[in-house]
Amino acid sequence: MGSSPSPDSFKFLIYGKTGWIGGLLGKLCEAQQIPFVYGSARLENRAAIESDIASSKPSHVFNAAGVTGRPNVDWCESHKVETIRANVVGTLSLADVCREKGLVLVNFATGCIFEYDEGHPLGSGIGFKEEDKPNFIGSFYSKTKAMVEDLLSNYENVCTLRVRMPITADLSNPRNFITKIARYEKVVNIPNSMTILDELLPVSIEMAKRNLTGVWNFTNPGVVSHNEILEMYKEYIDPTFTWKNFNLEEQAKVIVAPRSNNELDATKLSREFPSILPIKESLIENVFKPNRKTPVA
Ligand SMILES: NC(=O)c1ccc[n+]([C@@H]2O[C@H](COP(=O)([O-])OP(=O)(O)OC[C@H]3O[C@@H](n4cnc5c(N)ncnc54)[C@H](OP(=O)(O)O)[C@@H]3O)[C@@H](O)[C@H]2O)c1
């Protein structure tokens, strides 16, 4: 997308001020002394987006706004129009206005649009690639995200980042995947691709600076299972920690919509950023070592 702005001319317009990822992004910009403002528009309000852009004159736009559902994505099953308004109409409006203004939009999307299948069996190490067609529409949330990703692929100004099961070193945050599974009464045990935000959010900023666009599997390379994470939790945080597993059929009884389990092929991202750690190493370096409560053996 066009020529890169010079380093001192970056200014980011960020949507999702009150959200988890949007909040972290703002803190990162502050730490890196990158000028930024939060957008005040609702995404479905095109005129309000235009006004945000006119007043802030950004070099790049980040979208960390969207409906994720509270307490979880099951909310979207009973709030379909609200989900479409934010995740489809809103996201498309933002991409369309950014295109009109010649701006790159870095869009935090989801990798929960795939599930293991015959061509990508669990444990095979064959992950879904950026160009693969989504095969998981089991939840309304994932369905809208898959639809919008397909439509956004026609926008050459959009950088789509497929985030999965985001994790940070803040283990007190109930949105953190580790915190979630450590608090559940029972957990399934399935290897998945995941995103260590402490490591990858700075990468998203660098991607904007490089004006990268297109679809990116935005996960650390490799997979990690629920039990492997909880074993680490036991080793580093709480040696007395115990948990119970259940299978997918039993899990289906306590949730409304099915959840996706998959491996994404992170080769494209790793080629561009060779220092990104494999998921298990990143978990230890970025999450468990900084939180260690047990004595070093
Ligand atoms: N957290 C995850 O597990 C996860 C995983 C993969 C991908 N993602 C994706 O990453 C993005 C950010 O996730 P998150 O966890 O940071 O979400 P979040 O904490 O739920 O925050 C969502 C943000 O979006 C804003 N928002 C919602 N509808 C809006 C609209 N119509 N117009 C403008 N702003 C709107 C909210 O603002 P208000 O409070 O004002 O509504 C809030 O600031 C989402 O697109 C999500 O799908 C998240």
pLDDT tens digits along 52-84: 999 999 999 999 999 998 988 889 999 999 999
Cα(244) to centroid(ligand 1), Å: 30
Segments making up each domain of the chain, as ranges: 7-168+194-224+260-277
- Of the candidates 89, 109, 99, the residue with the CA atom closest to the CA atom of residue 53: 99
Cα(103) to centroid(ligand 1), Å: 21
Among 107, 142, 144, 163, which residue has the most ligand 1 atoms within 8 Å of its CB, making it the best to mutate?
Answer: 163
Atom 21 (ligand 1) nearest CA:
19
| Model pLDDT, residue 3 | 55
Inter-residue contact 114 to 264 (CB < 8 Å): yes
pLDDT tens digits along 181-198: 999 999 999 999 999 999
Mean pLDDT (whole number) for 153-164: 98
Structure tokens at 204: 């998203």
Atom 28 (ligand 1) nearest CA:
66
Residue 115 has pLDDT above 60, yes or no: yes
Reported confidence tier of residue 255, pLDDT bands at 50, 70, 90: confident
Atom 19 (ligand 1) nearest CA:
19
Reported confidence tier of residue 256, pLDDT bands at 50, 70, 90: confident
pLDDT tens digits along 46-55: 999 999 999 9
Backbone angles phi, psi at 163, to 5 degrees: -85, 145
Q: Which atom of ligand 1 is nearest to the CA of 42?
A: 32
- Of the candidates 247, 201, 254, the residue with the CA atom closest to the CA atom of residue 226: 247
Sheet containing 158-163: order of strands: 36-38, 12-15, 60-63, 104-110, 158-163, 214-217
Query: What is the C-alpha to C-alpha distance for residues 37 and 287, in angstroms, rounded to an integer?
Result: 29
Inter-residue contact 93 to 49 (CB < 8 Å): yes
Atom 11 (ligand 1) nearest CA:
64
Cα(295) to centroid(ligand 1), Å: 38
Residue 2 has pLDDT above 90, yes or no: no
| Count of C-beta atoms within a 10 Å radius of residue 90 | 24
Atom 39 (ligand 1) nearest CA:
18
Cα(235) to centroid(ligand 1), Å: 32
Among 14, 17, 21, 160, which residue has the most ligand 1 atoms within 8 Å of its CB, making it the best to mutate?
Answer: 21
Cα(68) to centroid(ligand 1), Å: 6
Inter-residue contact 285 to 277 (CB < 8 Å): yes
Cα(66) to centroid(ligand 1), Å: 4
Residue 270 has pLDDT above 90, yes or no: yes
Helix count and strand count (H, E) for the chain: 13, 8
Pocket of ligand 1 (CB under 6 A): 15-22, 42-44, 64-68, 86, 90, 108, 110, 163-164, 166, 175
| Count of C-beta atoms within a 10 Å radius of residue 128 | 25
Alpha helices in 6-159 (DSSP H): 20-31, 46-56, 74-77, 80-84, 91-100, 140-152
Q: What angle do CA 262, 266, 267 make, to 5 degrees?
A: 140
| Model pLDDT, residue 47 | 98
Bridge partners for 106 per DSSP: 62, 159
- pTM, whole model, 2 decimals? 0.96
**DSSP state letter for 126:** -
| Model pLDDT, residue 8 | 62
| Model pLDDT, residue 120 | 96
Bridge partners for 245 per DSSP: 187
- Is the sign of the CA dihedral 188, 192, 196, 201 positive or negative? negative
Three-class SS state of 59: coil
CATH number corresponding to 7-168+194-224+260-277: 3.40.50.720
Atom 17 (ligand 1) nearest CA:
19
Residue 7 has pLDDT above 70, yes or no: no
Cα(25) to centroid(ligand 1), Å: 12
Structure tokens at 257: 């919509």
| Count of C-beta atoms within a 10 Å radius of residue 164 | 24
Mean pLDDT (whole number) for 216-230: 98
Query: What is the C-alpha to C-alpha distance for residues 196 and 189, in angstroms, rounded to an integer?
Result: 19
Q: What angle do CA 250, 252, 255 make, to 5 degrees?
A: 125
Bridge partners for 104 per DSSP: 60
Q: Which atom of ligand 1 is nearest to the CA of 45?
A: 32
